[in-house]
Amino acid sequence: MTIRFTLPLLGAGWLTLAAMTPACAGGFAQGSADTDILFADEAFAVRSSVTVVNPTRRYGRNPNNPALEGTDYAATYEIPSVAVKVTLTDHVLCAGTYVKALGGQADYGSPKNAAHPRPIAPGIANAGKIEEEFGIYETGLTCAVAYDIGPGRAYLLGGGFREKFSYDRHDILTAQGQQRVPDGTTIGDARLSFDDEHYGYRFGAAYAIPEIAFRAALIYRSGTSYDPEGELEIETPNGVSLLDAYGSGDLPQSVELTLQSGIAEGWMAYGAVKWTDWSVVKQFIAQSYWSADVPGPGSINDYFWRDGWTLTGGIAHDFDERTSALLALTWDRGVATGYDHASESWTLSSGAAYDCPWGGRLSAGGALSYIAASEETKYGEFNTTVDTGWAYALYAGYRVAW
């Protein structure tokens, strides 16, 4: 019996919600490079998509700024993805990919540490961040060498990628100890920005039997370390100061095993296990300098995460020659160890794909994530709590091939 199933929704177009720190579980993960396009039947294929994620996280307790209690600090974000596959010979094929791989964004609405501002200069204190955002956009090239072995085809994969790193943070400055201005009065802003880039690699192996829609793949992605450079702009009634700033931090390696197989005519099951070395993410340190040897305002984001595990299972079905659909459930155990709120999550996702009469394949879908409540434990009387949250996602993609 021949089972026909191409499963167009798999790959970067498949709907698994990822994390936005500190709103969701799974560290900073957002999108994955669409290397699955290497397994497309056609000699040339292009697939593009965008996923929009809207998480909700509300503080239950926040001694650093009680005004934040009950407010939602999680910001909506987008995950673009593009992949192009080219077959060079019968045995060599390559894929160029672009994706927002990692990121995070928070909008607090009120300075995060307004109740306990930190002095940074005579008469001036930092009341904490009001906005924080970072993103890593990955551009990669992955190639495969394929050979027929037994009833299917074996693949050896390898390639490299470049990460473009950007970080922006907006803090509120308040008066502290000034004679004519009450303590806590907003008197200025501090804006920190970093840019950097780094290179990494991925490699793996796969085996596919198209007649039964079977494929097994194991792919490793390397980690990276950052030492970005940027500037801190401090604006007060006394004028504007531009300070050199430097940062440091690490991002994890990962290994993912994916399995799929036809289980009946027009039906297919899918599963994945992913390990991510989030334990390398301990702190992100930023430091500015008034002059070469005189430190200025600095900050430390504490994470000290544990390794991440993500499990996914799903089923897909071809309704007819043009229409397919998928339903999947993903569990992420969370990585927080008491320093932040990257807690456990469950995600239910579904989507459909349609082969258009004029050519190409249109896909769309949505996902709903449940995010467990969490509590800090490392800051004593200043520990914060975050209530149970939800995240919603919408996905749209298009594919052409020949």
- Placement of tokens 């791989």 in the chain: 101
Query: What is the structure's pLDDT at 298?
Result: 87
Backbone angles phi, psi at 66, to 5 degrees: -55, -20
Q: Which pLDDT score, from 0 to 100, does residue 391 have? A: 94
* 163 Cβ contact list (under 8 Å, min separation 6): 101, 102, 136, 137, 138, 197, 198, 199, 200, 224
- pLDDT for 25: 43
The confidence score (pLDDT) of residue 398 equals 93
Q: pLDDT tens-digit profile of 304-319?
A: 999 999 999 999 998 8
Q: What is the pLDDT of residue 294?
A: 85
Rg (CA), the chain: 24
pLDDT score recorded for residue 358: 86
pLDDT of residue 126: 92
The pLDDT, as a whole number, for residue 17 is 34
Cα–Cα distance between 351 and 37 in angstroms, integer? 18
Overall pTM > 0.75:
yes
How distant, in Å, are the alpha carbons of 32, 171, 177, 370 from that of 12? Answer: 6, 35, 54, 21
Q: Which domains does the chain have, with CATH numbers?
A: 11-401 (2.40.160.60)
Short-list 189, 384, 196, 234, CA closest to 302:
384
| Nearest alpha-carbon partner for 222 in 156, 165, 138 | 138
**Residues with pLDDT less than 70, the chain:** 1-25
- What is the Cα–Cα distance from 183 to 131, expressed in whole angstroms? 22
Round to whole Å and give the CA distance between 352 and 360.
14
